[in-house]
Structure formats: C-alpha cells, structure tokens
C-alpha cells in the first residue's frame, strides 16, 4: 500500500491528542470538558486506522507488539516507582501500566484479523466470529460488574480484556473498509462545502451532551471500568454505550473532513506515532511530580503550558526517533543481531 498522507496527518493529530490528553490529567481541574472530549474519540480513531491498515497483517507484528509490551511494562514498572506514581514497586504483566493496554489489545485485534484473513473475511465462520465479538463488546462491562464484585482480586484492567472488546468494533469497522470505500469517504467528507460550520455545530452539540455528566462519560470512555461506574441500570448502560460509539464515529468523520492531504508537521508525527506513544509517559510521570505547583495556575495558563509541552514532546521524540528505532521494532533488532552474529562466525 502506498503512503496515504491524509491518514498520516490524522495519525499525527491523534498522537498529539494522546499526549495532550495524558498531560491534561496532571492539571485536570477546570479541564474536564476538554479531557472527556479527547477521550471520546482519540483511541477509537486510532484503532479504526489500525483496522484499516491490518488487511495484510502478519504474526511478526503480533510478536513485535508482545515484545514491546514486555520491554515497556518492565521499563515503566521502574519509572512509576521512582516518580512516586506507584506507592510500592510492582512487577506484574497481567495489569498493563498506564498506556500499555493498547499493545495487548492491538495484538489481540491483529490475531483476529489474521484468523479472518485465513478463513475468508466474508465467509460464514467469519460472520459468527464477528457477531460473537460484537455481542461481547456491547455487554462485557455490564457482565463484568457482577464478576468483579465477586472476584475483587481481579482488576478491570486484567490483560486489557475489557478494553479490547469495548474498542473492537472500531477495529472491525476499519478492517472491513476497503481502499476504494475509504477513498470515496475521504473525498466526500473533505469536499463537503459547509464542513467547518457543520463540524463546529456537531462538536458543540457533543460537548453540550458530555457536559451533562462529565464523570459518567469519562468513566465510560476509559473502557476498563464496569457499568456501575457510569450507569444506574441496564437501559442507562445501553444508552451510554450507544452514545459512546456514535460520538466516536462522528468525531472520526470530522477528522476526515477537516484534515488535509498536504505533508506537514502532522505527517511527521503520524509516521513516528509509535515512538511518541511509547515514550511520552516519561514526561507525564515527571510533570506529575510537580502537580501541586501547576494546579495553582489559572485555566488559560495551564492549558497554554500543557499544549506547549505536548508540542515539544511530540517534536522532540520525532527528532530522536532514529536513535530509538531499534527498540520500537525489537523483533527485527533480535533477528538482525542473530544474522550479524552468524555472518561474523562464518567469516571467522
């Protein structure tokens, strides 16, 4: 597949929002509407693109993701302890630290994509698999409430199971959109005459809806909290589930309508989004150590500061990405090391 600059730009704005959303948590007082808006769509949109690019995914990518998880779960176990994010040093692979749930979930998404490609994406067995996934995706947080109450030793973040299913529909949506349909959607959305006005009205409406109960929607958008954290009964639960998926889809469409096709800074960020994703929490954990000072600032100053730091983090990590590529693709690094060692042995 040739490089699609528009999709790289969308990935660029999304990874910036990932960084911004995390850093806003450090100074969250007064920032809740923006935080909840970002969380409503940034990971669903990323996972949608993951699905779109997973047409020919291989087991190598799955292995690479699992290696990345092992490496960075170990790394951040130390970082969270030394920055006092965790009160005690814990070293567990079953509970992903901070952002690393995404690596486990993406590995699961890719395994399903590989299976569907093997079976045939439009075969009957694939239909049963997808139906089963969607049913579980819709109901897992409702079923998890009772299970987690009876098993308090198990976290809602255990192996990222809940999040994997909650976000699975976005991956499947991207996976089943072919190149022709994607190009048609991009053209229609970007050429819409009143896209700026329409997008503004939709975003205003979404913010208004979210502001009716920010905490409820925030808990729902995280994906790992059971239904009791955001719903009072099953009707309320399915209503919020519907709103969650609808809001994310609308915001994804807005991104496609507003982001252009020309190469710019976003393209660079998008092409290096994995490096930014893996390393940006370092800045979060350090910044969090100075929360007491930052929270005294006014809202405008806090927002300006966090945006500037987010811009710096993305640009800095891209600037040093060429020195980090060996760790972002550990499988290739291992294979290359073995190849070089065998070559050296033969030359001797």
Report the C-alpha gap between 70 and 68 in whole angstroms: 6
Report the C-alpha gap between 116 and 126 in whole angstroms: 6
Report the C-alpha gap between 105 and 120 in whole angstroms: 22
The confidence score (pLDDT) of residue 104 equals 97
Largest CA distance in the chain: 72
Report the C-alpha gap between 155 and 227 in whole angstroms: 14
Average pLDDT, the chain: 91
The confidence score (pLDDT) of residue 87 equals 66
Q: What are 28-58's pLDDT values in tens digits?
A: 888 999 999 999 999 999 999 999 999 999 9
Report the C-alpha gap between 26 and 54 in whole angstroms: 34
Q: What DSSP line would sit under 256-311, residue for residue?
A: HHH--SS-SHHHHHHHTHHHHHHHTHHHHHHHHTTHHHHTTS-HHHHHHHHHHHHH
Q: What are 86-104's pLDDT values in tens digits?
A: 766 677 889 999 999 999 9
- Is 77 strand, coil or helix? helix
CA distances (Å), 70 to each of 76, 100, 161, in order? 10, 10, 17
CA distances (Å), 186 to each of 89, 169, 175, 182, 261, in order? 47, 20, 16, 6, 10
pTM: 0.94
Report the C-alpha gap between 227 and 9 in whole angstroms: 34
Q: What are 302-323's pLDDT values in tens digits?
A: 999 999 999 999 999 999 999 9
Q: What are 192-226's pLDDT values in tens digits?
A: 878 889 999 999 999 999 999 999 999 999 999 98
Report the C-alpha gap between 287 and 88 in whole angstroms: 19
Q: What are 155-179's pLDDT values in tens digits?
A: 778 899 999 999 999 999 999 999 9
Going by C-alpha positions, the residue among 103, 7, 92, 94 that lies closest to residue 48 is 7
Report the C-alpha gap between 235 and 280 in whole angstroms: 38
Look up residue 67 and give its two tokens: 């290696």
Look up residue 149 and give its two tokens: 């109450």
Report, as an integer, the average pLDDT of 290-311: 90
């Amino acid at each position: 597949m040739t490089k699609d600059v528009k999709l790289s730009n969308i990935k660029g704005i999304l990874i910036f929002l990932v960084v911004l959303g995390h850093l806003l948590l450090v100074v969250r007082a007064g920032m809740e509407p923006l935080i909840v808006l970002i969380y409503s769509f940034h990971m669903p949109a990323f996972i949608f693109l993951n699905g779109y690019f997973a047409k020919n995914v291989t087991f190598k990518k799955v292995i690479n993701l699992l290696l990345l998880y092992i490496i960075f779960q170990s790394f951040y176990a130390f970082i969270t302890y030394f920055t006092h994010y965790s009160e005690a040093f814990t070293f567990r692979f079953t509970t992903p630290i901070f952002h690393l749930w995404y690596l486990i979930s993406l590995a699961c998404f890719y395994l399903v994509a590989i299976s569907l490609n093997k079976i045939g994406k439009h075969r009957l067995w694939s239909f049963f698999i997808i139906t089963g996934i969607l049913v579980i995706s819709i109901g897992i947080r409702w079923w998890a409430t009772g299970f987690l109450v009876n098993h308090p030793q198990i976290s809602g973040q255990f192996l990222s199971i809940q999040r994997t299913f909650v976000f699975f529909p976005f991956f499947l949506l991207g996976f089943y959109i072919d190149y022709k349909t994607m190009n048609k959607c991009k053209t229609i959305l970007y050429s819409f005459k009143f896209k700026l006005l329409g997008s503004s009205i939709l975003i205003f409406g979404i913010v208004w809806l979210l502001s009716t109960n920010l905490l409820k929607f925030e808990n729902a958008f995280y994906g790992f909290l059971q239904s009791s954290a955001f719903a009072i009964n099953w009707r309320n639960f399915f209503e919020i589930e519907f709103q969650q998926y609808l809001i994310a889809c609308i915001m994804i469409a807005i991104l496609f309508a507003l982001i252009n096709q020309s190469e710019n800074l976003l393209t660079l960020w998008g092409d290096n989004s994995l490096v930014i994703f893996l390393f940006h929490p370092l800045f979060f954990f350090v910044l969090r150590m100075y929360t007491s000072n930052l929270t005294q600032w006014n809202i405008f100053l806090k927002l300006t500061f966090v945006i500037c730091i987010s811009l710096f983090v993305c640009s800095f990590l891209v600037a040093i990405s060429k020195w980090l590529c060996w760790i972002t693709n550990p499988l290739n690094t291992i294979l290359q090391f073995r190849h070089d060692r065998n070559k050296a042995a033969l030359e001797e």
